[in-house]
Amino acid sequence: MSMISSYLGLVGKAILELPEESIQEVIDILKKAHAEGRQVFLLGNGGSAMTASHIAGDFQKGLKESTGKKFKAMAVTDNVAIMTAWANDTDYENIFAQQLDSLLEPEDVVIAISGSGNSPNVIKAVEKANEMGAITVGWAGYAGGRLAQVAQKSIVVNSDNMQRIEDVHMILGHLVFSCLMKQCTA
């Protein structure tokens, strides 16, 4: 088997092992947030930051275009000045939690993405969001790490390879977005 076939096969296997019931729960949470005009905040580091940014754009622009109703979605990864100010003046672990502290309202949704599930700044943000009465969703890989324990809802990609985990997280984001546009049901 070639490396190409092997890689694609392992990504496909990880996709097929995603927990459909958990995905539907996240879709339902986001449908409710959209209907109620709640905010959705996405966050992550590195590749997960890019996934957060991409999916926030899909939610904000794509859902408004397809449904006619705006969706208040943003990635707190997108403002470098705010992140570096918090990192410089306090600690890197605060870059997301402090933004949420300023923006988050009870019943808003936080989607935290971490391939390892153990990024300290992601964990701290989820803990802050839980304290503030938000609904927290974690997307992780490996065994889920701390993120799977602190988030109220979790989806863990069954893989121990960061690139495949990140691939599946992007597919998961597009799947959720597609279901929000088309009103998918289980």
- With a cut of 80, say whether residue 168 has pLDDT above it: yes
Give the other-Cβ count within 10 Å of 46's Cβ.
14
- Cα-Cα end-to-end distance for the chain: 35
Segment holding 109, helix H or strand E: strand 109-114
φ and ψ at residue 40, rounded to 5 degrees: -125, 125
Average pLDDT value for residue range 134-140: 98
Where in the chain are the domains? 3-182
Instruction: Give the separation between CA 175 and CA 167, rounded to whole angstroms.
Output: 12
DSSP 116: S
Residue 108 vs residues 17, 69, 116: alpha-carbon distances, Å: 28, 17, 24
- With a cut of 60, say whether residue 186 has pLDDT above it: no
Which pLDDT value is given to residue 184? 63
Tens-place pLDDT, residues 45-68? 999 999 999 999 999 999 888 888
Sign of the torsion formed by the C-alpha atoms of 74, 122, 135 and 54:
positive
Instruction: Give the separation between CA 67 and CA 71, rounded to whole angstroms.
Output: 10
Average pLDDT value for residue range 120-129: 98
- With a cut of 60, say whether residue 27 has pLDDT above it: yes
Note the CATH number of domain 3-182: 3.40.50.10490
> What are the structure tokens assigned to 161, written together?
């390879």
